[in-house]
Amino acid sequence: MKCFISIILLTFALSAKDLQDGEYFIQQSWAQEKNYQRSYLVQVPVESSKKKKPVFIFLHGNGGKAAAAMKNFMRSERLLKDHFIMVFPQGYKASWNIVSERAKSNDLVFVESIIKDLQKYDNVDATHFSIMGNSNGAALVNQIAIETQMACIKNYISAVSPLNGYQYDGKNFKKRGHDNNYREVAKPLKGIRLLNISGTQDGLVPYEGGDSKRIPAKDGKLPFVAAEESIFIWAKAMGYTGDKLEKGERLNKKVERFSYLNGDLIHYKVDGGHGAGGSIGDALLLEFLLGESVR
């Protein structure tokens, strides 16, 4: 089923209805395109009751495809598909615009537009959205968490991408801005929950911070905040006043967990590379997603 939806307030339907499996579209214009139909895929739980379902949005990595991401994610993270309406947007030119990607689109607006359209459906819990991204998609997750004013986004999960040096300059969070100049200070909404997964052997995103050896950014390479420092920065932004955790809770031989604010801010330190996100099973993801802030 194809359903064309415009962010310029074209009316989709006068009567309320349930969201169904299928491909949907957001119309968007920017320097590279005019009135471009940007797609996202939807899968609704098979055993769907009359109860409204929360929404889980997954953002693929650079070079990825929404269809492949949906196939792989639904196979590997099976517990999630019974609890959430699953949504898989497609990045323009298979990328998300952060600093020097092929896409120059406003992907914050794209994701927010998807959320606004989904909120119109009867079987969607309009108050509860979660967003997860992998690699380049995780960078967009960070940017959404930094900039959005949509309180309905409750949970953020960033796999193998902590804050980069443009998003946080050492003192302040920064808005992407026009032409990715990152000049304006941003103040993230209070009360968000964020989980990060990073690998200590990642060859693209250095766990201890510093410039990536391979990811370009303007005239150089993309700098990153150290993974453990990144989650500490987020924890402080959400109200944490204690010291930075120097050691996490050992879960197994490969995974260590750093938890702030009663589990609202979590970092998983994985003995692994750029595929570290796969080391965290769906049970731990679901535990985080179903948890509610106790603050």
Over residues 59-82, the mean pLDDT reads 95
For residue 120, tell me if it sits in a domain. yes
Question: CATH number, domain at 161?
Answer: 3.40.50.1820
Phi, psi of 118 (to 5 degrees): -65, -30
For residue 295, tell me if it sits in a domain. no
pLDDT of residue 292: 55
pLDDT greater at residue 149 or residue 291: 149
For residue 31, tell me if it sits in a domain. yes
Residue 5: pLDDT band (50, 70, 90) is: very low
For residue 118, tell me if it sits in a domain. yes
Q: Is 257 within 8 Å of 247 (Cβ atoms)?
A: no
* Nearest one of 250, 266, 275, 102 to 180, comparing CA atoms: 102
Over residues 44-49, the mean pLDDT reads 77
The pTM is what? 0.93
Say if residue 46's pLDDT is above 50.
yes
For residue 66, tell me if it sits in a domain. yes
For residue 58, tell me if it sits in a domain. yes
Structural domain total, the chain: 1
* Nearest one of 130, 144, 57 to 97, comparing CA atoms: 144
Domain hosting 103: range is: 2-290
Q: If you average pLDDT over every residue of the chain, what do you get?
A: 93
Q: Is 120 within 8 Å of 12 (Cβ atoms)?
A: yes
Over residues 60-82, the mean pLDDT reads 95
pLDDT of residue 11: 41
Say if residue 12's pLDDT is above 60.
no
